[in-house]
Amino acid sequence: MELYQIQSFLTVAEEGYLTKAAKRLCVTQPAVSMQLKTLEDELGVKLFERTNTGMKLTREGSRLLTKARKVVGAVNDFSDLARSLRREASGVARIGLCTDTKFLRIMDLTTRMKEDFPGVEVHLLQSMSETVLSQVRSGDMEGGFRFGDPPIQRDVDSIKLAQFNLVVVGPADWAGRLHMAETWNTLMDFPWIWLIQECPYCRIAENKLLSVGLPHKPPEATIVDHEDVISAFVEAGKGISLMREDEARLASKEGKVVIWDKDSLSTQVNFIYKKKRAASPVIRALIQSVRQVWQLED
C-alpha cells in the first residue's frame, strides 16, 4: 500500500467524482481509477459505488475514510516537524484563492514572500471558498482565502482580513426598471443569475431572502459557478445578480451595470490554515506575510 493511493482515495471521497479528483491530483482519470482498484484489491474491500451522480462511499469506505485522513495528516505533520527542526521556512506554500488576485492583494503577498522567505515556493490555486476549506483541512493547501463567516471546524484557524459588501446589480439598460424595485420582494420579478450552493454568496443571499419571508431562491434563476460568469451574464442582459461592491462600482462607472441601491449584504474575507500545522515554518511564513500585506496587528 502506497501513500499516493490513500491520498487518491481521500481526494475521490472529498470530490465525489473521478474527473475532479484527477484534476486536483494533477493526474489522469484512468490513473486514479487504477490506484483505487489496486487499493481495493489489496484491502479486500470495496471502497466506492460507481453511480450516475458520482462516486459514493460504501459502508467500509466511510469507516476507512477517517483513518485515511489521519494517515495523510500524520505525514503532513511529520514533514512540518522536519522543516521546523531545520529552523527555516522552505518548501511549497499552496495557497487557495477564492476570488481575483487584486482583491486578495496577491501581487503584494508573493513579493513579500519572495523577499522575506526565498526558500518558499508559492503555488496559487484558484478555487471556491468551500473547496479551499476542504483542501486546507486535508493538507492539500497550506492556507487559503475564504469568503463568509469563520469556519466552525475546530481544526481550522481563521484570520479576518476585511469586511465588505455585496450589492445587487443588473444590466445597464435595466436602470429604470431596477430603480423602481423598492424591496427584495419586487426583485423576485426579475430573472436572476444565481450561484451554486457551495458559494458563500449563495448562502448569504438565501439567508437574506428567508429573513424577509421569501423563498430561498428566486423563481427564475440561471445557476452559475464563478464570479466572472456572473459579470458576463449581467452585462449581456441575462439577469440581475450579486457582485462585490468594489467591482460593481467600477463596472457601473464604465457603464456596464447598474446598482440597486436600496440594500446591501455584508460579509468578510478570511485567511485560513490548519491549526495542527500552525507551527510549520512555511505556514508561519504565510501568516506573517498575510498579516503584513493586510496591515494587521500580530
pLDDT at 271: 98
CATH architecture of the region 3-74: Orthogonal Bundle (1.10)
Give the CA diameter of the chain: 66
Residues in the chain with pLDDT values less than 70: 81-87, 298
pTM surpassing 0.75? no
What mean pLDDT is reported for the chain? 90
Sorted by where each begins, the domain ranges of the chain are: 3-74, 87-162+269-293, 165-266
Can you name the residues that pair with 56 across neighbouring β-strands? 49
* 87-162+269-293 and 165-266: identical CATH topology: yes
What Å distances lie between residue 121 and 23, 75, 117, 152, 274, CA to CA? 21, 20, 9, 30, 19
Angle formed at CA 231 by CA 99 and CA 20, multiple of 5 degrees: 50
Nearest Cα residue to 117 out of 88, 84, 83? 88
Dihedral sign for Cα atoms in the order 279, 280, 281, 284: negative
pLDDT at 87: 55
Label residue 154 exposed, middle or buried (CB < 10 Å: 0-12, 13-18, 19+): exposed
pLDDT at 198: 79
CATH architecture of the region 165-266: 3-Layer(aba) Sandwich (3.40)
Under CATH, what is the fold of the domain 87-162+269-293? D-Maltodextrin-Binding Protein; domain 2 (3.40.190)
The rounded distance, in Å, linking the Cα atoms of 278 and 209 is: 38
